[in-house]
Amino acid sequence: MDMQRTLSRLKATHLIPPLLALALVGIWNFRQMRSISSLERDGAELRQEIAAVESEAAVRSSRPEPTTGSAAPAPIDWKQLPAAISDVGNRGETAQLKALIEFQQRLKNMTREELIAALDEVEALDLTADQREEILEMILESMIKLDPQYVLDRFANQIESDSNGVGWQLADAFGQWAKKDRAGATAWFDRQIAEGNFESRTLDGKSEMRAKFESEVLETLLATDLNEAGRRLMALPEDQRREVLEELSFAELGSNEQLGYASLVRQLVPADERAGSFANVASQLVNDGGYEKVSAFLDAVQATPEERAVSAKQAAMSQLEMLAQDGEITRAGVDSLRTWLDKQAPGQTDKITGKALAEAAQDDGEFDFDSASEWVLDYQKKSGNDDVLTAFLDGYSAHSNLEEAQALIGLISDPVRRQQFLDELK
């Protein structure tokens, strides 16, 4: 889900052809979200190179398969692969891009035994830890599709020690296994917990990987055995339950699973954290299907006024921030949001609007602080109160635009509140 959000924000999915996207997915997965700024610098030239690579790949794919007796492909030079990845990620050279794409295709066509042999070979090579990790992760992506249990057994001791690399892939492997064989996957998971492979390495004692794995089990239980889902969640410390639930990709859950999720939140998440759980759901749903999808969820779970209000606030902030980043925020869009807020959070429309516009104006995009200010002042005039303005000035963007913010403070009608803001922004 993090990679998808990054791609969306940078508009990469609109700018990069499918074949390059495939290669870049590999680069993001195996280089921990490498920045694409260098790729965007020479976008036109890079797209021309990719078009040529795609054309050549299409020609190769249309050729008949080699007949028996043809020469076997040359052995893979594993030591050269990290350099090829770096070149594609940093400069986008056509030759390295071809090599990476061809390598991915070879991995995809390997058998289980060939991939295991490749893992053995790479682990025996004289490579730096980073180089070995890059290559192993690429091999694992193919191996997980064939035998996720083998991958989990072989690399179980790296779940916590390499949570951002192999550990992330192990969580994916576990999820695939759990969907096919929940009992077997869960038994394996519980053994690993007992053996200490999910003991946190952080000072707060929380294991991010434990939360990821638990969420994979919960996803398989939500629609089939809510009691068992609750039992597993109850076995966790209270301060970790919300984190486990929020690891789920809520937008991908069916309606019954969403109802089960809401039930678990209300029963087992600490009272002071439940609002945050609903806000997380709203943020996912609004990005997936707009305000109406949030409304449908809130109606389905018979949300309380408090749950509706916090969900509406988060949905508004998430949606306006995303639209602002994409250069698509409009006054008509904000007006439509306010109409929706009147239904979901009566009496809080101005405060939520001000907060959401402040969040949207934080980034240095087309929608800036001055643009947001014009709309805020118009809404203030129509509402006849200071709620939208004070909520806007409470946002972080005011601290980044002190001179403009101080001018707006003078427009607050309440002298006490006006002085408070002047003191805060000194």
User: What would the pLDDT profile of 326-370 be if each residue is shown by its tens digit?
Assistant: 889 999 999 999 999 999 999 999 999 999 999 999 866 678 999
In a domain, 198, yes or no: no
In a domain, 379, yes or no: yes
Q: How confident is the model at residue 52 (pLDDT cuts 50, 70, 90)?
A: low
Q: Please give the residue range of the domain that contains residue 332.
A: 310-426
Question: Of the candidates 107, 123, 146, which is a domain's last residue?
Answer: 146
Q: Does the pLDDT of residue 169 top 50, yes or no?
A: yes
Are the CB atoms for 245 and 218 separated by under 8 Å?
Answer: yes
The model's pLDDT over 118-139, given as tens digits with 9 standing for 90+, comes to 999 998 888 888 888 888 888 9
Question: Of the candidates 112, 146, 180, which is a domain's last residue?
Answer: 146
In a domain, 97, yes or no: yes
- The pLDDT, as a whole number, for residue 313 is 97
Among 46-55, 158-167, 400-409, the least confident range: 46-55
In a domain, 370, yes or no: yes
In a domain, 357, yes or no: yes
Q: Does the pLDDT of residue 410 top 90, yes or no?
A: yes
Predicted TM-score (pTM) of the model is 0.73
| Count of the separate structural domains present in the chain | 2
In a domain, 387, yes or no: yes
Q: What is the mean pLDDT of residues 173-193?
A: 94
The model's pLDDT over 53-84, given as tens digits with 9 standing for 90+, comes to 555 554 554 455 454 555 566 777 777 776 66
Q: How confident is the model at residue 28 (pLDDT cuts 50, 70, 90)?
A: very low
- The pLDDT, as a whole number, for residue 290 is 92
Question: Of the candidates 88, 121, 146, which is a domain's last residue?
Answer: 146
In a domain, 380, yes or no: yes
In a domain, 110, yes or no: yes
